């Protein structure tokens, strides 16, 4: 059994001693109150993570000034009125013997609503790479005001009882904007050379030290490498790291990237290996003699233990893993690493949900996350006999939650394996972790006593004869077959059949549909050596490049030589060609030896009539309701179980 001796060793940073080397880094939640105070939802969310036993929890970003907020619900510390709420966060951690740091933050130009209101500030009036609007260039008076604001926020952190404070100097926010030539073109003492551009950060650290005293730890989260063309690199920033330490930094949180970095690398998608960025922490350690935190899609305690053992870093930050499974450290310590639900880096609930304005933080594979205040502990007041029909992600989640709450659950799946479309999709490049999650979830429901009936189709007759007390319909969807001449030819097959391995990719392939399934089957076919053309009728790709996986998928498809034809329809499929139309002009794609249909799916629901006739209560979830992502399927599955 791996004891993870390095990961679970203590470390002292000034006056703060940590019980282990695991850090839960700041992650935005949108759970705060509209006035920036701490809400009950924030308390419940933090409490659940504290129960997992990290050595140090860092709060989500806390605003130091009204003109530096990223969102209007952002937690804040620019006034003493925020101290009581912040103290509640401290109490939640300290009640569980966990140390907690407050991360203090100013968005600068990276705030849409501040830009829209004309309140955003920055080192220079250069437009945001994300929002395209310029901030107001800061005067030296502004600079002094913000420096003092960081110091005052740090003082409030100490007064609230925090064990440390972290200055946010990463990811394209205000401090990074000063460090980068891409956003700082000042000609005064805060611009020009790297040393001058770093002056703002150095003076903030000095002000924070002055306000908190000598024995209070200060961490600096830093994008050690901007990961963007024309940005600074680790080599550029290494010479000024000692200046940051001299000014007050007791620890460097070695992050990377900005909001403008391609591929959303700051929240790296599944394409990046766990711990891929540990080398940057090593670069920092070679420049300064203070503890360094490594960060970068860490999911496995064993890998983190190895990073510390070889002295690449002193501590390791697990971010999204704390959303997927808050108890992963406990399981590792108890020798139950196989029971850990590993983050699949889908970013659907934690990054994209916030980025696309869909709501507060969630996790696609852990329905408790962000819903701690409504999550039922169980058991149910009245256990019932529950049928879950369909073992895709929604059905599996529904079965798991219903069994957890004490219901007698039977799960029906007409295929030979659980997982539905997610298991098939896990065959696409880089998506193996999705299949591993399905395996984990299947093991969980088996341990909870769920009866799993694969190769079994739940019928109207079975429902009428057995009469379960509750039914959750997770029957998914069926592939849409477009009405195109030649669609029934022998060289035409469905994308799911190709991904499942039932159909081999051809040499010259045309994919009908440029949504995620179409793009992923094209990626899959190209990886097998196929020449691929994707035909999409929309004017813009349905796969958004602003999402991390979407960006990586577009890049791979492009680099593999695939052709993506937008605003194009298929008129006819022939034995060795496909006739298409774009902007009123027809042309022929040839030679074509395989046409793969990826036109989407439509809900599959053929049991509701019987359920209503038999007066059996039921829920419809996931793709059976409306085809969407894993996020929606698991959410609806969990809530159906909670509502029984």
Q: Fill in the DSSP letter of residue 315.
A: E
Cβ atoms of 326 and 96 within 8 Å: the answer is: no
Phi (first) and psi of residue 305, to 5 degrees: -60, -40
Query: Does residue 369 belong to any structural domain of this protein?
Result: no
Same domain, 171 and 118: yes
Question: What is the domain count for the chain?
Answer: 3
Can you tell me which residue has the tokens 């479309």?
Answer: 421
Domain boundary among 337, 355, 373: 355
Residue 354: predicted pLDDT: 82
Same domain, 101 and 151: yes
Residue 448: predicted pLDDT: 98
Query: Does residue 486 belong to any structural domain of this protein?
Result: no
Same domain, 517 and 632: no
Residue 637: predicted pLDDT: 98
- State how far the Cα of 269 lies from the Cα of 416, in Å rounded to an integer: 30
Query: Does residue 360 belong to any structural domain of this protein?
Result: no
Output the domain CATH number for residue 335. Answer: 3.20.20.70
Q: For residue 626, give the nearest of 473, 403, 445 by alpha carbon.
A: 473
Q: How far apart are the first and last CA of the chain?
A: 40
Same domain, 415 and 345: no
Q: For residue 523, give the nearest of 490, 565, 495 by alpha carbon.
A: 495
Please write the tens of the pLDDT for every residue from 547-592: 889 999 999 999 999 999 999 999 999 999 999 999 999 999 999 9
Cβ atoms of 456 and 418 within 8 Å: the answer is: no
Cβ atoms of 1 and 332 within 8 Å: the answer is: no
Cβ atoms of 452 and 413 within 8 Å: the answer is: yes
- State how far the Cα of 284 lies from the Cα of 265, in Å rounded to an integer: 19
Query: Does residue 36 belong to any structural domain of this protein?
Result: yes
| Geometric angle at alpha carbon 585, from 580 and 586, rounded to 5° | 35
Same domain, 236 and 249: yes
Domain boundary among 355, 370, 402: 355
- State how far the Cα of 371 lies from the Cα of 384, in Å rounded to an integer: 24
Categorise residue 465: left if φ over 0, alpha if ψ from -120 to 50, beta otherwise. alpha
Categorise residue 560: left if φ over 0, alpha if ψ from -120 to 50, beta otherwise. alpha
Domain of 181, in residue numbers: 11-355
Residue 262: predicted pLDDT: 77
Can you tell me which residue has the tokens 């098939």?
Answer: 424
Query: Does residue 501 belong to any structural domain of this protein?
Result: yes
Same domain, 351 and 408: no
Same domain, 442 and 350: no
Same domain, 118 and 56: yes
Helix, strand, coil percentages in the chain from 3-state DSSP, rounded to 5? 35, 20, 45
Cβ atoms of 494 and 642 within 8 Å: the answer is: no
Same domain, 47 and 102: yes
Long-range contacts of 500-503 (CB under 8 A, 24+ apart): 500/424, 500/427, 501/427
The per-residue b/e assignment along 134-158, b for 16 or more CB within 10 angstroms, e otherwise, is: ebbebeeebbeebbbbbbbbbbbbb
As annotated, the active-site residues are 173
Q: Which residues of the chain have pLDDT under 70?
A: 1-2
How many Å separate Cα 494 from the centre of its chain?
30
Output the domain CATH number for residue 587. Answer: 3.50.50.60
Q: In the numeric block, which tokens belong to residue 102? A: 């407050």
- State how far the Cα of 380 lies from the Cα of 125, in Å rounded to an integer: 58
Same domain, 458 and 526: no
Cβ neighbours for 234, distance < 8 A, ≥ 6 positions apart: 224, 225, 280, 283, 284
Query: Does residue 196 belong to any structural domain of this protein?
Result: yes
Q: What is the pTM of this model?
A: 0.96
- State how far the Cα of 449 lies from the Cα of 227, in Å rounded to an integer: 48
CA distances, 230 to each of 132, 181, 369, 421 (Å): 18, 8, 38, 41
- State how far the Cα of 296 lies from the Cα of 318, in Å rounded to an integer: 8
Q: In the numeric block, which tokens belong to residue 140? A: 């030296």
Query: Does residue 368 belong to any structural domain of this protein?
Result: no
Q: For residue 182, give the nearest of 103, 236, 144 by alpha carbon.
A: 236
Same domain, 415 and 552: no
Q: For residue 341, give the nearest of 380, 315, 368 by alpha carbon.
A: 368
Categorise residue 255: left if φ over 0, alpha if ψ from -120 to 50, beta otherwise. beta
Q: How many CB atoms lie within 10 A of CB 533?
A: 18
Phi (first) and psi of residue 188, to 5 degrees: -95, -160
Residues in the chain: 644
SS3 511: strand
Residue 266: predicted pLDDT: 82
Helix (H) or strand (E) holding 196: helix 194-197
Output the domain CATH number for residue 401. Answer: 3.40.50.720
Secondary structure in 3-state letters for 380-439: CCCCCEEEEECCCHHHHHHHHHHHHCCCEEEEECCCCCCCHHHHHHCCCCCCHHHHHHHH
- Inter-helix orientation angle 432-447/393-404, to 10°: 30
Q: In what order do the strands lie in the sheet with 578-582?
A: 568-573, 578-582, 585-589
CB-neighbour burial class of residue 113 (10 A; exposed 0-12, middle 13-18, buried 19+): middle
| Geometric angle at alpha carbon 297, from 97 and 500, rounded to 5° | 130
Categorise residue 370: left if φ over 0, alpha if ψ from -120 to 50, beta otherwise. left
Query: Does residue 16 belong to any structural domain of this protein?
Result: yes
Same domain, 437 and 527: no
Cβ neighbours for 312, distance < 8 A, ≥ 6 positions apart: 278, 279, 281, 282, 285, 294
Cβ atoms of 281 and 222 within 8 Å: the answer is: no
CA contacts within 13 A on the Cβ side of 64: 29
């Amino acid at each position: 059994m791996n004891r993870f001796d390095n990961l679970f060793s203590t470390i002292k940073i000034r006056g703060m001693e940590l019980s282990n080397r695991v850090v839960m880094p700041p992650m935005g939640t949108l759970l705060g109150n509209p006035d920036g105070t701490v809400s009950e939802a924030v308390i419940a969310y933090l409490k659940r993570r504290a129960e997992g036993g990290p050595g140090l929890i860092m709060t989500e970003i806390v605003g130091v000034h009204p003109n530096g907020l990223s969102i209007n619900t952002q937690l804040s510390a620019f006034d003493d009125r925020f101290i009581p709420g912040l103290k509640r966060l401290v109490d939640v951690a300290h009640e569980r013997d966990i140390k907690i740091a407050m991360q203090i933050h100013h968005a600068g130009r990276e705030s849409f609503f501040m830009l829209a209101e004309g309140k955003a500030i920055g080192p220079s009036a250069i437009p945001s790479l994300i929002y395209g609007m310029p901030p107001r260039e800061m005067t030296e008076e502004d600079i002094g005001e913000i420096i003092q604001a960081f110091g005052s926020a740090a003082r409030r952190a100490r007064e609230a009882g925090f064990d440390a404070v972290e200055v946010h100097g990463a990811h394209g926010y205000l401090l990074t904007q000063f460090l980068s030539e891409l956003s700082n073109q000042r000609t005064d003492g805060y611009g020009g050379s790297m040393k001058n551009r770093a002056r703002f950060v150095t003076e903030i650290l000095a002000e924070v030290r002055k306000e908190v005293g000598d024995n209070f730890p200060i961490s600096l989260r830093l994008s050690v490498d901007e990961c963007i063309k024309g940005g600074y690199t680790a080599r550029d920033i290494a010479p000024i790291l000692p200046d940051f330490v001299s000014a007050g930094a007791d620890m460097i949180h070695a992050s990377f990237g900005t909001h403008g970095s391609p591929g959303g690398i700051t929240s790296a998608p599944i394409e990046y290996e766990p711990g891929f960025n540990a080398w940057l922490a090593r670069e920092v350690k070679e420049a300064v003699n203070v503890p360094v935190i490594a960060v970068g899609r860490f999911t496995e305690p064993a890998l983190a233990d190895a990073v510390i053992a070889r002295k690449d870093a002193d501590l390791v930050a697990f971010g999204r893993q704390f959303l997927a499974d808050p108890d992963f450290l406990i399981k590792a310590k108890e020798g139950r690493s196989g029971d850990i639900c590993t983050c699949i880096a889908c970013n659907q609930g934690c990054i994209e949900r916030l980025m696309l304005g869909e709501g507060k933080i969630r996790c696609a594979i852990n329905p408790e996350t962000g819903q701690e205040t409504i999550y039922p502990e169980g058991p149910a007041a009245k256990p019932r006999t529950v049928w879950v029909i369909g073992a895709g992600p929604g059905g599996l989640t529904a079965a798991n939650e219903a069994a957890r709450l004490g219901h007698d659950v039977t799960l029906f799946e007409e295929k030979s394996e659980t997982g539905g479309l997610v298991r098939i999709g896990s065959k696409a490049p880089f998506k193996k972790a999705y299949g591993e999650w399905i395996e984990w979830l299947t093991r969980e429901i088996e341990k909870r006593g769920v009866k799993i009936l694969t190769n079994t189709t739940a019928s109207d007759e079975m429902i009428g004869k057995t009469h379960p007390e509750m039914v959750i319909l997770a029957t998914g969807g069926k592939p849409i077959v477009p009405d195109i001449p030649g669609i029934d030819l022998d060289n035409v097959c469905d994308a799911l059949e190709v991904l499942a391995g039932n159909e081999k990719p051809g040499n010259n392939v045309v994919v009908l549909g440029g949504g995620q399934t179409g793009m992923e089957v094209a990626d899959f076919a190209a990886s097998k050596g196929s020449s691929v053309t994707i035909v999409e009728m929309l004017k813009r790709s349905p796969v958004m490049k602003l999402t991390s996986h979407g960006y990586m998928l577009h890049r791979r498809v492009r680099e593999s030589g695939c052709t993506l034809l937008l605003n194009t329809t298929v008129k006819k499929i022939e034995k060795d060609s496909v006739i298409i139309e774009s902007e009123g002009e027809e042309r022929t794609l040839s030679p074509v030896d395989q046409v793969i249909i990826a036109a989407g799916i439509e809900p599959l629901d053929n049991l509701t009539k019987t359920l209503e006739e038999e007066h059996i209560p039921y829920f419809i979830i996931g793709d059976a309701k409306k085809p969407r992502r894993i996020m929606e399927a698991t959410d609806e599955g969990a809530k159906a179980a909670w509502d029984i």
